[in-house]
Amino acid sequence: MEKKLKLVEETTAMLIADRIAGLDKEVFSENPIKKIIILRMQPPSEAKRIAYIPEEEAVSNEPEHYVIHNYGLKKIIDQECRKRVILLSESERSKDFIKMTLEEVFIGIAAHEVRHRVQHLLPIEWFSPEHARTIDDPYFRRLIEFRRIIFTSHPPEGNYQREFDAKVIENLVVEKWHYGEKSHSRIAELIKLEPKHLAKAEE
Ligand SMILES: [Zn+2]
């Protein structure tokens, strides 16, 4: 029984690693990540379970990499699949609350971590709570306001700005994916999205 559980954990970690590698390669076609490490251990905290580690934060001379801690991973993913998540697109009111499929959970995790690499390597502007006022697009206003409210009651572990921006991208990608946007090149464009790409509201 013990053995079977480990296999499942490892399969889950490998599927997530595969999604991260795929999206990373699509976003950084010239410079795809060279290493994804699966650690057979519990993470130091849930926020660090899956992470992008830049070279300067890596220990023992590792190059930049993504890391996945796989002990307990399956349980966390199962919990994510049971949660109801809100969709913010105007047109789909009746389906506002959905349960995410495994595929949607994986693509959200991958988009979040690859966005962290984008934040680190590309000179982009990050999404922040203020953009709920300055962006014209009503969907993005809702998305940003929603994240601000969630983070007010449940502040993220780590850097607020960095996590705010990555969560906006994660939610965006999951929702677009849910509504059928499954082209990896289009998802890669979303992962590189900046507030300035969206029309500004009249001040
Ligand atoms: Zn994060």
Å from CA of 1 to ligand 1 middle: 33
Percent composition of the chain: helix, strand, coil (DSSP 3-state, to 5): 60, 10, 30
The pLDDT score that the predictor gives to residue 199 is: 79
Distance 53 CA to ligand 1 centre (A): 11
178-190, pLDDT tens digit by residue?
A: 989 999 999 999 9
Question: For the segment 115-170, what is each residue's pLDDT rounded down to a tens digit?
Answer: 999 999 999 999 999 999 999 999 999 999 999 999 999 999 999 999 999 999 99
CA 200 to chain centre: 25
H or E element, residue 24: helix 2-27
For residue 4, pLDDT beyond 70: no
Distance 110 CA to ligand 1 centre (A): 10
Could you tell me if 17 and 66 are in contact, meaning their C-beta atoms sit under 8 angstroms apart? yes
> How far, in Å, is the centroid of ligand 1 from the Cα of 153?
17
Tens-digit pLDDT profile for residues 109-124: 999 999 999 999 999 9
Res 1: pLDDT: 45
pTM of this prediction? 0.92
Q: What is the SS3 assignment for 175?
A: helix
Q: Which residue has the tokens 């029309």?
A: 199
Instruction: Return the pLDDT at 122.
Output: 97
Report d(CA 49, CA 57) in Å as an integer. 16
Q: Which residue has the tokens 């680190």?
A: 120
Q: How far does the centroid of ligand 1 lie from the alpha carbon of residue 160, in Å?
A: 9
C-alpha of residue 181 to centroid of ligand 1, in Å:
23
Collect residues with CB below 5 Å from ion ligand 1: 163, 166
Q: And the tokens for 50?
A: 């899956």
Cβ-based neighbour number of residue 138 at 10 Å:
12
Tell me, in angstroms, the distance from the centre of ligand 1 to residue 51's CA.
7
For the residues 10-29, what does the mean pLDDT come to? 96
61 dihedral zone (left: phi>0; alpha: psi -120 to 50; beta) = left
How many Å lie between the centroid of ligand 1 and the Cα of residue 3?
31
Distance CA(72)–CA(173), nearest Å, equals: 25
Ligand 1 midpoint to CA 134 (Å): 24
